[in-house]
Structure 1
């Protein structure tokens, strides 16, 4: 067996709250990503991984072709109407990227190509398009491009009447554009190139240099994200202010070239609200005196007095109000109760309402592509663990549904071959944790023999709903049971479920995941020696904590772009996603949070013990979790672990947080992960 790369140890002492920590691998941090020693170490790790998995190359190639072979090469998205045109994206052949087109009607007559992303990406190893935005007169297209994967975009403007780019070129942006209604100017956000925070809103006049742009708003509180949108009736521009525990919005008139932003309602710690305009009124989704949110209405005259707001959808203690959509005569709102989504259509004037029918016990449903206020139908996205992604239009007045498209899966796929379940697992403190399961009917026996692929996330209130995965078919068809553990830190069971998995309750996220594993083994959904676990980003933190706390439960782990050096990162305000995440993890400058973070931080809690087989992946240019976090984690694991199990670390030297760009390239990473697991079963 070849020798694993050995990292040198350079002790670096840090003292906080009179607590001394020594970090032997702090030297691995290089913000410039140009240090030759660090790059050489990453390349050595890549070479070691390639060598250790060289015997699986044939299987990786088979898996890649298998994964790719399920994808329809010539495909298009469901057209979305905006103004006089229908917009869609098309992919064809072996092209990695889509082509943006528009047509005169839903059927695609008089089609015009707006952007061919394949041409734009042709000279770049990495390419990501963001923020495509059509001007109100439909003659100009703004878009942002990132060729480094740092999520910093350069904005460009294309004249659709001449098919030529304008001279305007705006660097250092978030990639997002909102147009003024005069078609002569737009708003965009500049990012801090060190912390990557979106913090300055500028107005750009077409034909002028970026240096002449006017600063409209600057965020001085670094715990807030800033982003833009436009009201559905196109009369207002919104500047959103989002922190973990405060959400608010400032409003500008889209018709006034000299408009200045005005807070809709003051920012208050603990108060969250979002708005949508409807005629002369506003609908406000807020947690004001409502842990699980309520929908209220107000008008411009009364918006500053929250006591005058009226309930449109009253709060419930056991149901989370997640989303709403407005049409001329209808309100559509989405709730989640016991983890199950419901969508209700209400006629605004009469108050009469009905619920859309969903028949499976575990599924994903939501509103998507509802751009126009006068649309006669609400567009719904639907999927489950056995039902490929589907788009429906539900007529607002009748509830009649039309299936517009269901994702095709090439090959021998039939949903009848698979079974999904939703079960509840009792955690160690008595809480009931939902788990979504799927398996192939003809290979599953609840006798404790199947391998298990368990996925989790559990942070930021992000809920991982059970939806269809073409890639998972490669697992299911080989006898795996796939499970999503809906652990605390998500909002699967409402806002309290999130609150019980953040800050000083974060440990519940990790113990929930472990308890789900133990229960699935106990209930004989899987073999106790064939359990594999996967997570990425904050889910990579989950993996790091789990293998420290219960390494014996897992045969193999895949940890992608993992956030594992929690304390050091959260103490460094120059690193992206630090100050604006204090509300999620806590501020370690306060001793109570420092001590608690230190109790679970994966990097700080590595001990001399046996660990499972581990595959770690990252991207050199990752903007969310810096490459040096997994790099340090792997080095320290190599130093302290007492087993001979595989520890493999692969860095994509061209990619960032989202991995490789393009619709096929990323499948190589998935094939690598699956081959790593399959090899461990041999």
Structure 2
């Protein structure tokens, strides 16, 4: 291709329906289990530790909508949550909505997608995936009787109710799982479904939502770098969608509504977005009023709009901020967050006319927390902090952030956390995590399972490499397409800095990433196999060129704007320089533990399976190469909470064994 000879000895592993392929995957799992057999006691201890830290009987803080308080709970021993609501007050009479444990009976996998209650609170539109392949089936339940209607749509991707509470809009997917059609149907009267809109361009996916004031149904059509918006009056569901602004290449936008005005988050004047408001009846950028201008150093990530306030989520040179604007007086202030290195963002805020803003908060040492903030009185109330049982005390742990110099001089942030009494100031085992793609920030977060590492003297670190959104949209641009090599350079630089500053040594350094993060760690290990003790790559995107040549796969065409199109020689040369599968060579490699899901529609299982085979054929040392394929799940692994903890216990056991800490 483009003058390069290409061959693939393991291409046959793509033939999922071939009995020999399934037999091969089962043999891989058996091989891994044999390697893990001596670690059975460690795996069980890790699992018991993690279960021992979670509050198994637990209930989420309720949220209010149309006179009802909605919540979910988990019960001890149950894999999934129960959804219910209470009328009038948080402690009012309880009505069950969905018990996912009952719905999961006899099924190895279950995941809830759409969960939308009609405005009159009688009907619930909900969607379930029973494969892990994002194969959602949409149903509607009558909440007065508890019975499902005679309504079922497969391959769906979102739903929204009209104001009449009988007309439902939903999206369906094509064979490549691209959401491309919007449908409408009036339920309960036998009316047929009507096709409302179709997106023919394979680069664009449809998304469906509703303004918080419930005035408008919003249909967005978005590629990786361009979007447009259409709206439907929720009170006139049979009206055709109305285009808000024409599509312009490179311009993205999002919309909400208040008092006859559209509030538009748009990046037409700069990559980090600005906020404008315009007449909803005749929207126009020419006559729009700019509320927040574009700023080169500050990413405007999101806006939560309410009747009298709005909350602006900003990222200022990597630091997250929540700014409250009083829309009546124009006064502005920031919500004071407890820690400087943290993650915070809006939670479920279903009501429009309220002064309460609910947000989620976490850090490397603080468990997931829910706060309510009164935007008028400026009173901050902790609603719930996720309990961590077993004696966890955040005072025993420390976190910090350092900067690592990339080869081009860019300073790359690295966040670290450790247990203070296990830190002697000398190199010690360290787990470095990264992602670096799609503009998604890899914010700091608390992990119950991570405590099992910290308590054994392991340091945990996150590399905030380019390609992610950790420092705004320009940080993303600097790590995609022709600039993708920056992501790998950054990650290696972070690892090198941790070694040079005495945090760890190459023999003590393990790296981990999933999906595009699996690409990151595998590419880094190809570049510097001497720098790492082991690699954990979960559902890893490692066969870049072959995948991007196959336009029948769900994500390929849309991903041309993220990775490039290998049919174009310049893009091919860029990919050829980093694609992990194509750059394996004869060398001493770190140990590898790869995870995949047979039903994964985002990164097919065969990428990890082929990579494992080729790596074994080429490596020149005895480091283990292990592959585990979950035959009942997809991209996210096991869906049940206990099953997911068993998977994590296996991964941690691999790490501890590679560090020589299996007996710890």
* TM-score, normalised by the number of residues in structure 2: 0.98
How many Å apart are 1:446 and its aligned residue?
2.4
1:461 touches 1:498 (CA, 8 Å); kept in 2? yes
Where 2:566 maps in the other structure, the secondary structure is coil
How many Å apart are 1:322 and its aligned residue?
0.8
Among candidates 275, 285, 308, match of residue 306 of structure 1: 285
How big is each residue's C-alpha offset from its partner over 1:393-437, in whole Å with a ceiling of 9 and x where there is no partner?
Answer: 111112111111010001010000000101111111100101111
Where 2:154 maps in the other structure, the secondary structure is strand
Q: Give me the whole-angstrom Cα distance separating, in 2, the residues matched to 1:595 and 1:181.
A: 52
Question: Match for residue 100 of structure 2?
Answer: 117
Of 334-343 and 176-185, the range deviating more from structure 2? 176-185
Q: Give me the whole-angstrom Cα distance separating, in 2, the residues matched to 1:359 and 1:87.
A: 28
Is residue 28 of structure 1 aligned with residue 13 of structure 2? yes
Question: Match for residue 134 of structure 2?
Answer: 151
User: Map of 1:495-644 to 2, 5 A cutoff?
Assistant: 495-644=473-622
1:182 touches 1:255 (CA, 8 Å); kept in 2? yes
How big is each residue's C-alpha offset from its partner over 1:536-557, in whole Å with a ceiling of 9 and x where there is no partner?
Answer: 0000111210111111111111
2:213 touches 2:352 (CA, 8 Å); kept in 1? yes
Q: Give me the whole-angstrom Cα distance separating, in 1, the residues matched to 2:12 and 2:172.
A: 31
Among candidates 188, 196, 202, match of residue 222 of structure 1: 202
Where 1:21 maps in the other structure, the secondary structure is coil
Question: Match for residue 442 of structure 1?
Answer: 421
Question: Match for residue 227 of structure 2?
Answer: 247
Distance 1:258 1:642, change over 3 A: same
1:361 touches 1:421 (CA, 8 Å); kept in 2? no
Q: Give me the whole-angstrom Cα distance separating, in 2, the residues matched to 1:596 and 1:395.
A: 50
Which residues of structure 2 form unaligned runs of 5+?
none
Distance 1:573 1:337, change over 3 A: same
Q: Give me the whole-angstrom Cα distance separating, in 1, the residues matched to 2:471 and 2:131.
A: 38
How many Å apart are 1:106 and its aligned residue?
4.8
Among candidates 247, 250, 254, match of residue 270 of structure 1: 250
How many Å apart are 1:203 and its aligned residue?
1.0
Where 1:53 maps in the other structure, the secondary structure is helix
Where 1:382 maps in the other structure, the secondary structure is strand
How big is each residue's C-alpha offset from its partner over 1:542-573, in whole Å with a ceiling of 9 and x where there is no partner?
Answer: 12101111111111110000011111111111
Question: Match for residue 354 of structure 2?
Answer: 375
Question: Match for residue 467 of structure 1?
Answer: 445
Where 2:474 maps in the other structure, the secondary structure is helix
How many Å apart are 1:147 and its aligned residue?
1.0
Question: Match for residue 51 of structure 2?
Answer: 68
Distance 1:476 1:297, change over 3 A: same
Among candidates 163, 173, 177, match of residue 146 of structure 2: 163
Is residue 354 of structure 1 aligned with residue 340 of structure 2? no
Distance 1:255 1:340, change over 3 A: same
Distance 1:103 1:457, change over 3 A: same
How many Å apart are 1:300 and its aligned residue?
2.7
Of 482-491 and 344-353, the range deviating more from structure 2? 344-353
Question: Match for residue 393 of structure 1?
Answer: 372
2:228 touches 2:252 (CA, 8 Å); kept in 1? yes
Q: Give me the whole-angstrom Cα distance separating, in 2, the residues matched to 1:391 and 1:579.
A: 38
Q: Give me the whole-angstrom Cα distance separating, in 2, the residues matched to 1:416 and 1:144.
A: 42
Question: Match for residue 164 of structure 2?
Answer: 182
How many Å apart are 1:497 and its aligned residue?
0.6
Q: Give me the whole-angstrom Cα distance separating, in 2, the residues matched to 1:66 and 1:105.
A: 39
Q: Give me the whole-angstrom Cα distance separating, in 2, the residues matched to 1:116 and 1:523.
A: 51
Is residue 203 of structure 1 aligned with residue 184 of structure 2? yes
Among candidates 319, 322, 325, match of residue 301 of structure 2: 322
Question: Match for residue 412 of structure 2?
Answer: 433
Q: Give me the whole-angstrom Cα distance separating, in 2, the residues matched to 1:117 and 1:368.
A: 22
Q: Give me the whole-angstrom Cα distance separating, in 2, the residues matched to 1:681 and 1:586.
A: 38
2:260 touches 2:281 (CA, 8 Å); kept in 1? no
How many Å apart are 1:257 and its aligned residue?
3.1
Q: Give me the whole-angstrom Cα distance separating, in 2, the residues matched to 1:301 and 1:215.
A: 25
How many Å apart are 1:207 and its aligned residue?
4.3
How big is each residue's C-alpha offset from its partner over 1:464-499, in whole Å with a ceiling of 9 and x where there is no partner?
Answer: 111111111001000010001000011111111100
CA RMSD of aligned residues (A): 1.3
Where 1:579 maps in the other structure, the secondary structure is helix
Where 1:307 maps in the other structure, the secondary structure is coil
How many Å apart are 1:285 and its aligned residue?
0.6
Where 1:282 maps in the other structure, the secondary structure is strand
Question: Match for residue 659 of structure 1?
Answer: 637
How big is each residue's C-alpha offset from its partner over 1:37-65, in whole Å with a ceiling of 9 and x where there is no partner?
Answer: 10011011111101111100111011111
How many Å apart are 1:276 and its aligned residue?
0.5
Is residue 19 of structure 1 aligned with residue 4 of structure 2? yes
Question: Match for residue 394 of structure 2?
Answer: 415
Is residue 91 of structure 1 aligned with residue 70 of structure 2? no
Is residue 670 of structure 1 aligned with residue 648 of structure 2? yes
* TM-score, normalised by the number of residues in structure 1: 0.95
